[in-house]
Homo-oligomer: A and B are copies of this chain.
Amino acid sequence: MKELSYAHGGNIYSAAIHYGIHRSEFLDFSANINPLGVPEVIRKSIIENIDDICHYPDPHCVELRDKIGEYLKVSKDSIIIGNGAMEVISLYLEVIDPESILIPVPSFSEYETLGVKQGSKIHFLYMDESKGFKFDIENIQKRLSQEGIKSLFLCNPNNPTSFLVDKLELIKLLDYAKVSGIHVLVDETFIELTIEGNRNSMVEFLNCYENLFIVRAFTKVFSIPGLRLGYGLGNRKYIDKMWDKKLTWSVNFFATMVGAVLNRESNYLYNTRQWILNEVDWFYNQLLKIPYIKVFRPNTNFVLLKIICENLNSYKIKDKLAKRGILIRDASNFKGLDNKFIRIAIKDRKSNLILLENLRKVMEDTEYYL
């Protein structure tokens, strides 16, 4: 079996076994989830409709697509629902079946895994650390053109760098891709957790670019990774084929009901926005004060750090923090990073203060040298 324990953030089960600490006692900074917790509407709808799990879930997710359609002002025919963003990306790959894919890295590792599974050749473009791992649109375009690559995967904001691409640059890239017959997947899983939220989304341009496919999820914004719910937005001719290829009932009944939250949780979304406004810059500025780390400016609810002392690495720091009951993401297995990088979620103020205090202690505890 594939060793997943440390491949992703958020595996509190493996950590609990490894450190002998019950999973409920960890402060989990390894998964980038909205700290406001599960919205009350979702909790209620699960409890009130619990007996309905005796029925198969709606395989077409009609109500959910209606709600998402209203929420983002898109036709429900341009929406595919999946078991997390992973199934959505997997279906997209099955339909597009690209010979090769360009992935600017560091980025979400599953693009490579799923692409390889589809039989696509993966090309990596290494972003420049000295420019904060900014997506270099000009270079991306050059690589696509020079190597005749017809498929591009972009995570925006990007995981693990927290970099948000400029919308005008993305439009320029999409224009180029359109005339060159290149499929562009933009993964907006974290878009609602950026300062400007959906205004950073490319959703409004769906009708302009037949070659644009947007991946989204409720996982992060509604704090429901355990429920498994992602969706994709794109041209109907691809969406229809994705529905055809999908396992009939891969989206469970509770997940199909999450749409209800979209028009009944304006408070939750308002509070989420307030949290992002309050915490992201504040946390960044606090991190800047901690010695021996370089902080990459975050645009969403997580931040990439580089350890800049020689005798400490990502594994050691992860281990030291775990022993203090705090989980972080060892980012060394992201292509383009090494064992000097860690990723930390941004949580509520109280938790953030605990993280900051413990991170400072870990950094100051031992004698490090640069």
Does A293 touch B at the CB level, under 8 Å?
no
Measured CB to CB, the closest approach of chain B to A236, in angstroms, equals 9
Q: How far is the CA of A42 from the CA of B283 in the complex (A)?
A: 40
Of the residues B53, B58, B249, contact of A86 by C-beta under 8 Å: B249
Does A56 touch B at the CB level, under 8 Å?
yes
Does A352 touch B at the CB level, under 8 Å?
no
Q: Which residues of B contact A90 (CB under 8 A)?
A: 247
Contact B250 A87 (CB under 8 A): yes
Contact A56 B240 (CB under 8 A): no
Binary contact readout A81-111 vs B (1 if CB under 8 angstroms, 0 otherwise): 0011011001000000000000000000010
Does A37 touch B at the CB level, under 8 Å?
yes
Contact A226 B252 (CB under 8 A): yes
Q: Which residues of B contact A31 (CB under 8 A)?
A: 55-56
Measured CB to CB, the closest approach of chain B to A5, in angstroms, equals 8
With an 8 Å Cβ cutoff, the count of chain A residues facing the other chain is 57
Contact A250 B250 (CB under 8 A): yes
Does A167 touch B at the CB level, under 8 Å?
no
Contact flag A13-B86 (CB < 8 Å), given A50-B38, A50-B47, A54-B33: no
Q: Nearest 7 pairs between A and B by C-beta?
A: A226-B253, A53-B226, A13-B58, A10-B56, A1-B243, A56-B225, A54-B223
Q: List 11 A-B contacts (CB under 8 A).
A: A1-B240, A10-B56, A43-B51, A47-B50, A54-B226, A56-B225, A57-B228, A86-B247, A86-B249, A225-B249, A227-B252
Task: Beyond A2-B243, A4-B248, A86-B250, list 11 extra A-B contacts (CB 8 Å).
Answer: A13-B62, A17-B62, A23-B55, A28-B55, A33-B55, A38-B50, A43-B50, A47-B47, A56-B225, A57-B225, A86-B247
